[in-house]
Amino acid sequence: MTSPAATAPIVRATCTSPLGNMTLAASAQGLCGVWFDGQAHQPDPQQWALEPTHPVLQAAATQLRAYFAAQTARFDLPLDLSLGTAFQQSVWERLRAIPYGVTQSYGEIARYLAQPAASRAVGAAVGRNPLSIIVPCHRVVGSKGALTGYAGGLERKIALLQLEKAL
């Protein structure tokens, strides 16, 4: 599979949020990245051209502001998840199905994917999610509801779950 980076340039913009600045990235196929500054597994955004007027990046920033203001619970954006492996993409698609204000465990996701022994692999895929908030990896918890790691930082995960009244 050819990655979007090989076929079309990725562009970026910065979005401010109550939890810190975020880098947004888009390919020709759609939004391909949303990372908090300093987030684990974030690629170097300096490799991409700054294009704050890109329509997908503008729409993402607008929808993120509405989310943080508790004015929306959904995102309606074209997404490009092609930068992940097939397994990662299947996990990320499952994350998109977790409703606002609801949490699921890594084990529940593994069972949904018919791979009940794959909780750790699910956790690794969740940690590599390139679309924070949009693909809601913050809604994934450990067994018995334990708050476990979040690539953007555990304090941000708590804040996002509190915003959604899941805590």
Catalytic residue numbers read 137
For 49, phi then psi, to 5°, come to: -70, 140
Outline where DSSP puts E strands in 88-135: 104-105
Q: 104 and 140 in contact (C-beta within 8 Å)?
A: yes
Q: Packing angle between helix 119-127 and helix 86-96, nearest 10 degrees?
A: 80
Token pair for residue 164? 């959604």
Residue 108: count other Cβ atoms within 10 Å of its Cβ: 18
Q: 132 and 35 in contact (C-beta within 8 Å)?
A: yes
Distances (CA, A) of 51 to 7, 27, 28, 119: 18, 11, 13, 38
Amino acid sitting at position 49? A
H or E segment to which residue 49 belongs: strand 49-50
